[in-house]
Structure 1
Amino acid sequence: MPEAAVVSYDRANSQYVVLVRVRAPSPPNRSVSKVAASLMDPSCRAPIDLVTVLDVSGSMTAAKLQMLKHAMRLLISSLGPTDRLSIVAFSAGAKRLLPLIRMSRAGQRSARQIIERLIISGSSGEDGICIGHALRKATKVLEDRRQRNPVATIMLLSNGHQKEQPLQEDTSDPLTRVPPSVDSASATRFAHLEIPISPDGGGGSGDEIYPVENVFPKCVRGLVSLVLQDVHLQLTFPAGFVSSVYSYGGSIGGGEGCVGLPVLQGEGKAAISVRLGDFYAEEKRELLVELRMTHPHQQQPQDWMSYKCSYRDPITHELVLCQAATAAMPPLHSSLTPRTQELRNLFVTTRALVESRRLVDLNDLDTAARLLSTARSLLLQSNSTTSSRHHKFVASIDSRLAELQRRLRLQHHPLPRASRGEQLTPTSAWRAAEQLAKVAIMRKSMSRVGDLHGFENARF
C-alpha cells in the first residue's frame, strides 16, 4: 500500500509526497540450483556483456583466492557464445587481463587460462587505493563497445574489507545493486560480491569453506535475470497535480541511488507516465511522487489511485501492455507522525541531492549550495533528530555541501597558474617556446646596448 506525508502547506495549496513501491516479478519457486541453472541458460535469458573486477591483493588469503577461482570457473562455463566477458584484476595496480570477447569455446578456454594463473600480490593496505582505478577501467571497457548486448554488468569479487568503497553501498546485503540510469538504452548494473569466507580463513562457525554453489547463484540471479526491459509506469491520482517524481535506490549517502525521473503528463492533471528503465528479478524500487493539492479539497474514504505499466520482453523484444489496476489512496493529513516525518525527510533529502546535482551540471554552484543549506535547515527543524536514519540524511547533505563549498572557493579564488600544473600539449609547448625565445632575444639586445655605454660621442 502506498504511503503519504505532508511536505508543506499554506492557505491555498498543500504539498504531499506519496511513496509508491515497485517490484519486478520473481523467478519460479524452485530450488536454488534449478533457479540458477535456468537463469544461467543462455537460451532462457538476454545476452550479457560482463566485466569482472577481481581482487588479488594482499588482503586475500589462499582459501579466498581458491573460492574466487571456483566462482569464476562456474561463471565462465555458464556463459554462451552470445555473451561477452572481460576480466580486470587489481592489487597494487589495476590491469585488464582479458578484453571483452565472446564466450565461445576458444573464448572460454582463454578466460580459464587467465583465471588459473591468478596469484596474490601486493600488500594488504594497497587494495583500497586501486579499486577505484579498476572500476574505472571496467567502465571504460563498456563505454568503448561498438556492439552492445541488452544487459551490461560490472561484477566486483573482493575480500570486502577495502578501505575505500567505490560506491555508496548498503553492506547489509552481500549483493548490492545500484539502480541503472533510465536514460541509457543498455543500462549498466553494478554488483559487489564479497568472498564468503571469514577473515581468519575459516568458513564462519567451523573450518569449512562455504560452498560456492549456495552463494554464487544469488549473485548470478541478480546479474543476468533481466525480466523487464524499458518499463513505463502510468499513475493516475484522484485529484491534484504531480510536479515531480524521484526514484530512491535505497542508498541515500552521496545521492548515487537518487534519480529524478522525467514526467509526462497524461490526460488529466493527476495522470502521469514515467520511464523506469530495466528491471531484474525481484528488484525493488521506491518512487517519491510530489503531489500538489489546492484548497479546498475533501478526500473521500473511497479514493483510489490507478496504475498501469508496459514493458518489452528481453527475449522476444515484444511490447507487453498490462491491464490497469487500482490501489487505495493513502490518507493525506497535515499532521506528522514519526513514520510520515521520516518519509518527509527522505523526500527533502532526495529532492535536494537530485536538484543540486542538476544545478551543478548547469554550473550554477551558488544556487545548488543555497538549496542544500535550505534542505539541511528543514531536516534540523524536524522532530526526529534522534533517529539514526535522520543522521544519515543530514550527513549526506553535509557531504554534498562541503564538496560544493570547496568548488566555490576554487571558483572565486583560483590557484596560481604555476601551481595548477597546466597540462602539456603541443599548443602549450609551442607557446612556452615562443615566450622563452622572446626573453632570450630581449636579453641579448639589452646586453649589446650595455656594451656601448660611454661611447655615445666617440668618433671611429
Structure 2
Amino acid sequence: MEGAWRKVRRALGLRLCVRTPAAGGELRAPSPAGGCRGDAAVTVAAAGESGPATQAGALRRSKSGGRSSSSSKQGKCAICFATMRSGRGQALFTAECSHMFHFHCISSNVKHGNYVCPVCRAKWKEIPCRSLSSNSPHGRIGINPNRSPQQDSHMVLHRQDPNRRRDVRRLHTSEPADFNDDEPLQHKEGFDNLNFGSTKTPEISSYPEFQTVPQSSSLDGFDILIHAKAPTASSGHITGSLVNETSVRSSSRAPVDLVTVLDVSGSMAGTKLALLKRAMGFVVQHLRPSDRLSVIAFSSTARRLFPLRRMSHHGRQQALQAINSLGAGGGTNIADALKKSMKVIEDRSYKNSVCSIILLSDGQDTYSISSNVQGTSTGHRSLVPFSILNDERHMVPLYAFGFGADHDSDTLHSIAEASGGTFSFIEDEGVMQDAFAQCIGGLLSVTVQEMRLSMECVDPGVQLCSIKCGSYPCKVARDGRNGSVDIGHLYADEERDILLSLTIPKSREQTSLLRVACAYKDPVTNETIEIQGDEVKIKRTISTVSEPVSIEVDRERNRIQAANAIESARAAAERGALAEAVTILEDCRRVLSQSFASQSGDRLCMALDAELREMQERMANRQLYEASGRAYMLSGLSSHSWQRATARGDSTDSTTLVYSYQTPSMVQMLQHSQNHCP
C-alpha cells in the first residue's frame, strides 16, 4: 500500500504528507503546509486580507527521466489560474484542506455538485455557496470591513448533509435542440495589423531510385519518391500562454475551432480526473482569443459543458471553471459523445478555417461501439458517428487518446483512422499533459489545407503502376498516365513521403518520367495556390554497371516495410499467435539491417529497429500484449499511416520512430509542457 501511495504522489508531483488509511477508512486530506491536519478552519477572506498561500494548479509532475519541473507561482487560483492579490476586491475562500480559491470560482464549482477540493480531492464538510440575502440561516462569514454588507451578504457556507445523495457527473443545465449558439468569430479589425498569409510555399522534391539506367533496360517497378514539406512557421509564431489579447499580433496563424471530448466515467475518478483537468487547463491557456473551444464530457451519456466559445480572458475563465467542476461516475458511451461533438461542429453559425476534435477515454465502450469495429470480430459498429466522421462534406480529423491499460484501443484507433486523425497511447498518467501539448502544438500551426499532389507521365512509354501513401486517398488512372494523392492539412514544417512505382521503356536518350504539381489552400487567406514541381528525369547509359540506390528511396521502402510488418504481426497476435508475431517482427529487423540505408548508418533505420524491438518485448505474453502491446502497435500504425507524430507508451521522450514525425511547433509546445505547468 505504501508503494502505491508513493506512485500517486509522484504522478501528482505534490510534496504532500500522505497518510495511509486504515482498513476500511478514508484517506485524510493532506495539508500543503507540510503536515497532515484534521478539520481545518474554513474562512472566506476578501482580497487584501491575509491567508495561507497556495500554489497555482497545484498538480505538478515529479522529477523523473531527467525532466525538471519548475515550481509553481504563489498566489494563483487553482481553478481560473488568475492571480489572488490584495486590493483586487475579490473574495477568497480557504477550505479546510488549506487550499485557497476565488470565492466566485469555487462557488461555481460547488454549484455543479462537486464537493471535493479540485487540488487535493479532499472531501469537504463545509462548502461555499451563494445566498440571496444576508438573512440566510447559515449566516455570513469572513466579512471584510472594506466591503459593503450587500457585497458580503452573498458569501456563505453550507454544511454538507452526509445523507444527501448527489450526482457530481450531472450539470444542472439544459442543452438547446440546436448547437447554433456558438460565439461569433473575432472581428476582422482585430487582425488588420497581422501579416497574414505566408510568403513561402510548400517544397516539392523528387528522388528517382537511380539517376541513370542502361539504354537496353526496360524496368517494371522503378520507384520514385515524392517529398512534400509544408512552409515554416512565421518567425513570430509562439507557443507560450497568451497573457492578453494584444499579444496575438505577435504571430499569424489560422484560428482554430477545437472540440474536446472527455471521458468522465467512474474509472476516471481520483488521480486520472485531476490530471485530465490539469491537461485541459494547459490546452485552454494556450488558445488565443481568436480560437474557439467547446467541451463534451461523457460517461453513460454525453453533455456539452459550454458552446464553442472564444478563448478571451473571460472565455478562458469560464472554460476552466466548467472543466474543474467535472466529477467522475457512470459508464462509457463513446457513440453518444461522438454524435454530440459532431453536432457542435455541424450546427455552427460561424466557422474558423481549422477545425479538429480531441477524444480521450480510459475504458471499454459499454454501449453501442465494441472492439474491432473495422475488423472481422463479432462486435458491431455504431454507424451514425462513423458515417458522419467519414462524410467528405464534414471531414473533421479526430485525434483519439487511449489512457491506461483498460481502454478500447481498437475502437479509438478505428475512429481516428476513419476521420483522418491519429490514435495515441498514454500509458503513464503522468504524461497526459505532454500528449495533449504535442497534439495542440501541431493543431495550432496548420499552414496548409486541402493539399493535393498530382503526377503526370511525360514520356509516352512511361506508366504509373502504384502509389504507396499509407492511409491517404489516392487514384491511378486506368491507362496509368496520371495519378493523385489527397494529403489534406499539414502543420508548419511537416513532411510527407509518397512512393511511386513506374514502368519505364528502353530508350537511347534521356527519359522524362514524371511532372509533379501541387495545389492547396492557405488556411489564413482561404486562397487556393498551385505550384509546379520540376520534371523527374533519368539519364540513359550504355554501361550496365549498377549504381547505388537512392538512400531517400531506400529509407522510405524500409519505413513502408516496417509498417507492413507491424500490421501483419498485429493480425497474428489478435488470433493468439504471439510467437508468430514476434517472428514476423524479427524477420523484418533482419531485412532492414541488410538494406543500403541501414548499412550507411541511417538514423531512421536505427529508429525502426528500436521500434520493432520494443513491440517484440511487449508481446512476451498475452497479459502484457493486452495491457500495452496492442495499444503501442496501434499508435505506431496510426503514426506511420498518416506520417504524423503520436504519443506512445509511458513517455514522449522516446527515440523510436513515432517521434521522428515531430514538427518544431510540436517540440516547442512539448518542452513548454515539461518545463512549465499552467
TM-score (norm 1): 0.50
CA contact under 8 A between 1:181 and 1:277: conserved in structure 2?
no
Q: Which has the higher helix share?
A: 1
Taking the aligned partners of 1:220 and 1:233, their CA distance within structure 2 comes to 26
Does the alignment pair 1:131 with 2:339? no
CA distance in 2, matches of 1:142, 1:330: 52
Kindly provide the CA deviation profile for residues 78-109 of structure 1, in whole angstroms up to 9, marking residues without a partner as x: 22333221111111222222222333344333
Letter in 1 for 2:261: V
Compute the displacement of 1:64 (Å): 1.8
Residue 388 to residue 259, structure 1, CA distance change in 2 (3 Å)? farther
Question: Is the 1:56–1:121 contact (alpha carbons within 8 Å) kept by the matching residues of 2?
Answer: yes
* Alpha carbons 1:242, 1:270 under 8 Å: kept: yes
The aligned residue for residue 423 of structure 1 is none
Deviation at 1:300, TM superposition (A): 7.6
> Is 2:347 aligned against 1:144?
yes
- Equivalent runs, 1:78-227 vs 2, <5 Å: 78-122=286-330, 126-127=331-332, 130-159=333-362, 164=370, 187-194=395-402, 209-210=430-431, 212=433, 214-227=434-447
1:300-358 Cα distance to aligned partner (Å, 9 max, x none): 88765443434333234455554633557799xxxxx9x989979x99xxxxxxxxxxx
Between the aligned partners of 1:87 and 1:111, the Cα distance in structure 2 is: 8
The answer as to whether partners of 1:264 and 1:273 remain within 8 angstroms in 2 is no
Shift of 1:192: 2.0
- Secondary structure of the residue aligned to 1:44 is coil
Q: Alpha-carbon deviations, 1:250-275, whole Å to 9, x = none?
A: xxxxxxx352448799xxx8455655
* 1:144/1:92 CA distance change after superposition, 3 Å: same
Which of 453, 462, 475 is the aligned partner of 1:233? 453
Q: How does 1:39-438 map to 2 (within 5 A)?
A: 43-122=251-330, 126-127=331-332, 130-159=333-362, 164=370, 187-194=395-402, 209-210=430-431, 212=433, 214-239=434-459, 240=461, 248-249=469-470, 257=471, 259-261=473-475, 270=481, 275-281=486-492, 283=494, 285=496, 287=498, 291=502, 297=506, 305-318=514-527, 320-322=529-531, 324-325=533-534, 387=584
Paired position in structure 2 for 1:442? none
Task: Provide the secondary structure at the position in 1 that maps to 2:295.
Answer: strand
Which secondary structure does the structure 2 equivalent of 1:324 belong to?
strand
Q: Are the aligned partners of 1:149 and 1:186 in contact in 2 as well (CA < 8 Å)? A: no
Q: Distance in 2 between matches of 1:137 and 1:166?
A: 22
CA–CA separation in structure 2 for the residues paired with 1:19 and 1:243: 10
Following the alignment from structure 2 to structure 1, what is the Cα–Cα distance between the partners of residues 322 and 508? Answer: 64
More strand by percentage: 1
Distance 1:114 1:248 in 2: 41
Q: Is the 8 A contact 1:22 1:286 kept in 2?
A: yes
Structure 1 78/321 Cα, relative in aligned 2: closer, same or farther at 3 Å?
A: same
Whole-angstrom CA distance in 2 between matches of 1:210 and 1:343: 29
> Higher RCO, 1 or 2 (CA under 8 Å, sep at least 6)?
1
Separation in 2, partners of 1:234, 1:145: 33
In the TM superposition, residue 55 of structure 1 has moved relative to its aligned partner by: 1.1
Q: 1:89 to 1:341 in 2, by over 3 A?
A: closer
In 2, Cα distance between equivalents of 1:134 and 1:325: 47
Q: Distance in 2 between matches of 1:289 and 1:155?
A: 33
Verify: 1:25 aligned to 2:25, yes or no: no
Deviation per CA, 1:106-144, whole angstroms, max 9, x where unpaired? 43333222101101112xxx32xx113212221222122
Inter-partner Cα distance in structure 2 for 1:153 and 1:75? 13
Within 5 Å, which residues of 2 pair with 1:435-454?
A: none
Contact 2:262 2:359 in 1 (8 A): yes
* Inter-partner Cα distance in structure 1 for 2:487 and 2:439: 22
Could you tell me how far apart the structure 2 residues matched to 1:63 and 1:330 are? 63
**TM-score between both structures, scaled by the size of structure 2:** 0.36
**CA 1:3/1:103 → structure 2, altered by over 3 Å: closer, same or farther?**
same
- Residue 464 of structure 2 contacts residue 501 of structure 2 at CA under 8 Å; is this kept in 1? yes
Structure-2 change in CA distance of 1:51 and 1:236 (3 Å): same
Query: Does the 8 Å contact 1:261/1:275 carry over to 2?
Result: no
Structure 2 unaligned blocks of 5 or more: 1-205, 210-217, 376-385, 408-425, 541-553, 565-582, 588-678
Structure 1 residues 131 and 62, CA gap change in structure 2 (3 angstroms)? same
Instruction: For residue 53 of structure 1, report the CA deviation from its aligned partner.
Output: 0.4
Q: Does the aligned pair in 1 maintain the 2:259–2:357 contact within 8 Å?
A: yes
Per-residue CA shift, 1:278-307, capped at 9, x if unaligned? 2224545554657567xx645988765443
CA-atom RMSD in angstroms: 5.4
Letter in 1 for 2:360: L
| Cα separation, 2, equivalents of 1:27 and 1:246 | 27
* Contact map agreement 1:73 1:112 (CA 8 A) in 2: yes
Task: Output the CA distance in 1 between the equivalents of 2:389 and 2:496.
Answer: 13
Write out per-residue CA displacement over residues 357-388 of structure 1, whole angstroms, 9 at most, x where no aligned residue: xxxxxxxxxxxxxxxxxxxxxxxxxxxxx847
| 2:671 alignment partner in structure 1 | none
- Residue 329 of structure 2 aligns to a residue whose secondary structure is coil
How far did 1:63 drift? 1.8
- What CA deviation, in whole Å up to 9, does each residue of 1:179-218 have, x standing for no partner? x99995885221123558999xxx989xx94483x44321
Aligned residue pairs, count: 307
